[in-house]
Amino acid sequence: PDVILLDLMMPKLGGLGVLDKLNKAGNKAPVIIYTNLDTEEKKKEVMEKGAADFISKAHSNPQEVLQVIRKHLLSSA
């Protein structure tokens, strides 16, 4: 994929587990976390684990989400 949009609240493995597996597999696509778990601690944790960006579902609109995705698509081109 060119970009990965990943939620943190998912059954079984969860977003952090997926992020860890992507890192171990050598993923090069930017991973954008899109979640309602928008505490500063959680944001810091996912960014330290290699996420390219963090979007709060509750504090964003579809245009803002697209803007972030486009930014990462253009920077990886």
- What's the order of all strands across the beta sheet hosting 53-56? 4-6, 31-35, 53-56
Question: Could you tell me which of 45, 46, 65, 48 has the C-alpha nearest to residue 56?
Answer: 65
Q: Is the pLDDT of residue 77 over 70?
A: no
Q: Which residue has the higher pLDDT, 77 or 10?
A: 10
Per-residue model confidence (pLDDT) at position 76: 74
Express each pLDDT in 10-41 by its tens digit.
999 999 999 999 999 999 999 999 999 989 99
pTM of the model: 0.92
The answer to whether 30 and 72 are in contact (CB under 8 A) is: yes
Express each pLDDT in 41-73 by its tens digit.
999 999 999 999 999 999 999 999 999 999 999
